[in-house]
Structure 1
Amino acid sequence: MKKTAAIIGAGIAGIASAVRLANQGYDVHVFEANSYPGGKLSSFEVKGYRFDAGPSLFTMPHLVDELFRLSGKDPQAYFDYIRLDEVCRYFWDDGVRLTAQADRQAFAREMEEKLGEPAAHVLAYLQDSAVKYNVTEKLFLHRSLHKLGTYFNRDAFKGYANMHRLDAFTTMNRANERRFQQPRVVQLFNRYATYNGSDPYQTPATMNIIPHLEYNIGAFFPKKGMVDITESLVKLAEDLGVKFYFNTKVAKIETSENRVTGLTFEPTADRSGRRSSFLAPRSFDIVVSNMDVVNTFRKLLPDAKQPERILRQPKSSSALIFYWGVKKSFSELGLHNILFSNDYRAEFEHLFHQKTMYSDPTVYLNITSKHKPDDAPDGGENWFILVNAPNNEGQDWEALIAQSRKDVMKKVSKTLGVNIADHIECEEILDPRSIESKTSSSQGALYGNSSNNRFAAFLRHANFSREFKNLYFVGGSVHPGGGIPLAILSAKIATDLIDS
């Protein structure tokens, strides 16, 4: 008989784990409390406007392709995407605008022409970002940091020789200020701290590896929208025999001595209010949790030894998202757009120290109908507007949302020269509270623990349990971190440990 594997949560890391375990010969069962897969990587539709609910930037597509090839499948038979010719459009309140081309030389020239930064500085920075990535990739991203063997191999010794290139003992902002003459260029590259919910004035400059993903590897767009990453991988998993159970909430991970023995469940209502049937307790050979590691321990393993040092680490930032159906088209906007705050330091001071929203927020605006016209009615656009928000610590969110909505409308209207309120046909809102409730993310944090100190990588939970031999962890709250690429890599690390 096949060995059995249970996966708690059908987020992208859970689905990737299911694919890998099916290829290892396991009988895989995925249990999801929601009525849909994908976690944050899902979608919905309102009045003819389709919205990707969560992640909107697609990088490192080879990690998705790898799952199909591992399964003996042609990736394009399931999932297709394009490489973008432009990465992002940037806007400042004084009218300065810049389009970041995917071509590095063109990007560097425009930085020189529009912002006054020598092109050579930009190209050198992107080369250094590539070096940082190459040093860290095989040492930190593809292996467990919590196994001794990780530190005694050829890749590790090569990495040690270049550790000084990582700038681990200075902040992202300080490193960028040393490299660039123009404050706007520093701000542009500081924004990459938000890709893992960090503060550029605190997070180590090692995080300057992130621009490498967009400018050296490339930014991409799934032809059917971001949700197609989820849907194509679910189809692949099902073709491999994986079974998905939706509206099925795990109540507890059952244990005996140093092993996990199985799961117990509680019924869950779907979106229409219908209750799922109650599943009897089930035993499994291994269990993989794609649930936030804090809630995995607090809710599903209350009697286990709690790794308090890790669970109590400060959490990353969250987000306030407005989904607007806009009955007008704007040629000056692209797929990805950033409207910058006039005082970036003050914005992050509010986020991480005052735990509130800043009155002049940086606005990220994603419009997938630019590349996928059927995401909006003719003449309209589907706007995904995200502003950085603190994680949920009991703030007055109704007041913060109302004020932030006014601040965002003011900024967008000024940039575009129209009263955007006149063109909003429909609206949905996602805030840190609903992120927490829908995805079981502790405090609504988007990326688990904060990366605002130089030891943050070592303060994420391992991809395995030290107490229970057959329990493993994947997803953005554990090593190597949050975001689609790292979540997929967490599945690779965990299932490689299972396989070994």
Structure 2
Amino acid sequence: MKKALIIGAGIAGIATAIRLAVKGFEVAVFEANAYPGGKLAEVVQNGFRFDTGPSLFTMPQYVDELFKLAGEKPDASFTYQKLDLVCKYFYPDGTELNASTNLENFADEIATKTKDQPESIKKYLKNSRRIYQITNHVFLEKSLHRLKTYLSWQTLKSVLRFPQIDAFRSMHRANNAFFTDPKMVQYADRFATYNGSNPYKAPATLNVIPHLEQHFGAYFPDGGIYQITLSLVALAERLGVKFHYQSPVEQVVIEKSKVKGVWIKRSGERMQNKERDGEFITADVVISNMDVYFTYKKLLADHPKLLPKRILKQERSSSALIFYWGIKKQFPQLDLHNIFFSADYQAEFEHIWQKKDITDDPTIYLNISSKYKPDDAPNGCENWFTMINVPSNQDQDWDKLIASARQNIIQKLSKALGEDIAKLITCESILDPRSIESKTSSYQGSLYGTSSNSQFAAFLRHSNKSSKVKNLYFCGGSVHPGGGIPLALLSAKIVSDWISIK
């Protein structure tokens, strides 16, 4: 039986393991941490449970598909509920906008609370659907680095419709054309942050994102977002996949431009080897779920000529600063997903991308999973996942930035909610770009690998297959098609389509 070895138990690594096990491979996954999931993990503190990373769940069919491939019924192991309210938006002037999954209700809400009419959001979402229909099957579900992709009628049809994906103007410029009210422009610009980009530079092609949220819907997994990780790991194990935790890969071994295996550093183990401590594991196929930058710089350090020069030059996506707060009160005016907008959105992005620091008035994303999973917080309390977008780590004084941002966030939320939030915080954990990098091997703590701040960013993402080393593959948010749960799962699909058991 052929052996496939996967580096990293992030969501893409787990999904790749499942797909290859179904194909008949003997699969082993080696993870540096003591737990699976990568960014999609959890933390428990003082009776509060927090999902640590991704908190918005869309496109559940990509998770269901993995169970179906394994011959199982998805709802026997993994269940979820569709949200009636996608998100609550809070504006500085006191306006509150409820983004219902029911388009007519959302359109009425917009007409009542903004200067835009129902037709504005309908036209905007129709455009989003058109971009999705053009790009999905070609640019998201297939490799852009494989000749086979371009030799199909489906691809040709998408290429002929390329002008319709709006690649040559920025999201902000496009959104200004769709809406008249600055509040709605800000609502639409926010979707650039879903892949760590800047709406004032990113192409309007990214306006595909709201279709995923509004048309397909947003969901909450029973048990919380981390249940995605746990359910898929359990599925993989039922298929015979072996997970090895606290087992960081030190090197990918290559001979004559072909993968031979990897060196593993075993926790607490010392092997009798003159060159290194660890263990050599042979493999027919190696798939790296580690950030592609660190894959080359660390695991392939003995082969510097393999490093594509563009990896060093490409702009990284933004990162995040997250405060996990246990709050000793419940706020009925809040929902699962809440956004508190900045008064000057353009200035906020200038701080992130040009000044490489944090504005005094950041847009705050507040996720409260205890709204749907009450045991995530003690009685009468809520678990606040409080996040702002920040630049990637480039040796800023993060301790100073974090202290200032914490004060500004508390002040902003206290004003919006009419309550001194500082007095309600009973426990706190913090995740910043430095710890994101150290815990998840994401270069500079960037959440989505490279940014999408240019028209050709999608085509410049690293391929899912090495062009120089046979049987070396890549999955996860730092390679094609991008970051976030749905795209990470699609990267696993693309990789498995490349690999044959023969």
TM-score range, shorter chain: over 0.9
8 Å Cα contact 2:123-2:178 kept in structure 1: no
Distance 1:48 1:309 in 2: 46
CA shift in 2, pair 1:442/1:149, >3 Å = same
Give the deviation of 1:303 after TM superposition: 2.6
Further displaced range: 117-126 or 290-299? 117-126
Question: Once the 2 structures are TM-superposed, how far is the Cα of residue 160 of structure 1 from its aligned partner?
Answer: 1.9
Q: Is 2:354 aligned against 1:331?
A: no
Aligned residue type for 1:336: H
The answer for the alignment partner of 1:3 in structure 2 is 2
Which residue pairs with 1:482 in the alignment? 483
- Cα distance between partner residues in 2 of 1:64 and 1:349: 36
> How far does residue 287 in structure 1 lie from its aligned partner after superposition?
0.2
Tell me how far 1:147 sits from its aligned partner.
1.0
Q: Secondary structure at the match of 1:466?
A: coil
**2:464 alignment partner AA:** N
The aligned counterpart of 1:460 is: 461
Residue identity matched to 1:442: Y
Contact in 2 for aligned 1:173/1:200 (Cα 8 Å): yes
Distance 1:312 1:264 in 2: 29
| One-letter amino acid of the structure 2 residue matched with residue 81 of structure 1 | Y
Shift of 1:342: 0.1
**1:384 to 2:385 alignment:** yes
Is the 8 Å Cα contact of residues 5 and 287 (structure 2) preserved in structure 1? yes
Alignment correspondent of 2:260: 261
Contact 1:248 1:276 in 2 (8 A): no
Cα-to-partner distance string for 1:455-490 (whole Å, 9 max, x where unaligned): 101111100001111000000000000000000000
CA distances 1:336-388 after superposition (whole Å, capped 9, x unpaired): 00000000000000000100001000000000000000000000000000000
Query: Residues 266 and 279 of structure 2 are in contact (CA less than 8 Å); yes or no, is this contact kept in structure 1?
Result: no
Aligned to 2:128: 129
Q: What is the deviation of 1:277?
A: 6.9
Mapped partners of 1:363, 1:229: distance in 2: 25
**Percent of paired sites with the same residue:** 55
Q: Distance in 2 between matches of 1:262 and 1:157?
A: 39
Gaps of 5+ in 2: 272-277
Letter in 1 for 2:331: F
Report how many residues are paired: 493
Shift in Å at residue 266 of structure 1?
A: 1.8
Shift of 1:276: 5.8
Q: Write the deviation string for residues 78-121 of structure 1: whole angstroms up to 9, x where unpaired.
A: 11000000000000121111111110111111011111211011
The correspondence of residues 371-450 of structure 1 with structure 2, limited to 5 A, is 371-450=372-451
Q: CA deviation at 1:56?
A: 0.2
Distance in 2, matches of 1:280 and 1:205, equals: 48
For residue 311 of structure 1, report the CA deviation from its aligned partner.
Answer: 3.7
2:69 matched to which residue of 1?
A: 70
What amino acid is the match of 1:483?
Answer: G
Q: Match of 2:274?
A: none
TM-score (norm 1): 0.97
Partner of 2:114: 115
**Hey, what does 1:41 align to over in structure 2?**
40
Give the conservation status (yes or no) of the 8 Å contact 2:265–2:279. no
Q: Distance in 2 between matches of 1:76 and 1:402?
A: 44
**In structure 2, the residue corresponding to 1:384 is in which secondary structure?**
strand
SS of 1:499 mapped into structure 2: coil
The one-letter amino acid of 1:243's match is: K
Distance in 1 of aligned mates of 2:364 and 2:197: 16
- Code of the residue aligned with 1:291 in structure 2: it is M
| Cα drift, residue 499 of structure 1 | 2.6
Gaps of 5+ in 1: 269-274
Q: Distance in 2 between matches of 1:126 and 1:311?
A: 36
Task: Name the counterpart of 2:248.
Answer: 249
Q: Distance in 1 between matches of 2:474 and 2:12?
A: 9
Shift, 1:15, TM fit? 0.1
Q: 2:308 matched to 1:307?
A: yes
**Structure 1 stretch displaced more, 225-234 or 145-154:** 145-154
SS at 1:382's partner residue?
strand
SS in 2 for 1:492: helix
Q: Which residue of structure 2 lines up, in the alignment, with residue 231 of structure 1?
A: 230
Instruction: Please tell me the residue identity of whatever aligns with 1:362.
Output: T
Aligned counterpart, 2:275: none
CA RMSD of aligned residues (A): 1.0
1:204-249 residue CA offsets vs partner (Å, 9 max, x unmatched):
0000000001101100000100000000000000000000000001
SS of 2:499's partner is helix
1:272 corresponding residue in structure 2 = none
Map of 2:78 onto structure 1:
79
Q: Which amino acid aligns with 1:390?
A: P
**SS of equivalent residue, structure 1 residue 248:** coil
Task: Give how far 1:161 is off.
Answer: 2.6
Corresponding residue for 1:175?
A: 174
Preserved contact between residue 310 and residue 459 of structure 1 (Cα < 8 Å): no
Q: Partners of 2:500 and 2:411 in 1: how far apart?
A: 54
1:117-170 Cα offsets, whole Å, 9 max, x none, are 110110111111011001000110111101122112121112123211111000
Within 2, Cα distance between the matches of 1:30 and 1:277? Answer: 21
In 1, Cα distance between the equivalents of 2:374 and 2:227?
A: 16
CA shift, 1:280, in A, is 1.8
Q: Supply the distance in 2 between the matched residues of 1:104 and 1:219 (Cα, whole angstroms).
A: 13
Cα separation, 1, equivalents of 2:191 and 2:279: 46
Partner residue of 2:91? Answer: 92
Give the distance between the partners of 1:479 and 1:240, measured in 2 at CA.
26
Whole-angstrom distance in 2 between the partners of 1:126 and 1:277: 58
Query: 1:152-199, CA deviations, whole angstroms, 9 ceiling, x for partnerless residues?
Result: 212111212321111100000000001111111000010000000000
Structure 2 length-normalised TM: 0.97
Counterpart AA for 2:29: V
Q: Provide the rounded CA distance (Å) in 1 between the counterparts of 2:497 and 2:313.
A: 28
Cα offset, 1:77, TM superposition: 1.3
Q: Which amino acid aligns with 1:173?
A: H
Counterpart Cα distance in 2 of 1:309 and 1:89: 39
**Hey, what's the Cα distance between the residues in 2 that align with 1:328 and 1:153?**
57
Q: Structure 1 residues 303 and 277, CA, compared in 2 at 3 Å: closer, same or farther? A: closer
Separation in structure 1 between the aligned mates of residue 261 and residue 177 of structure 2, nearest angstrom: 54
Deviation of the 1:390 alpha carbon? 0.3
* 4+ long deviations beyond 4 Å: 276-279
SS at match of 1:435: helix
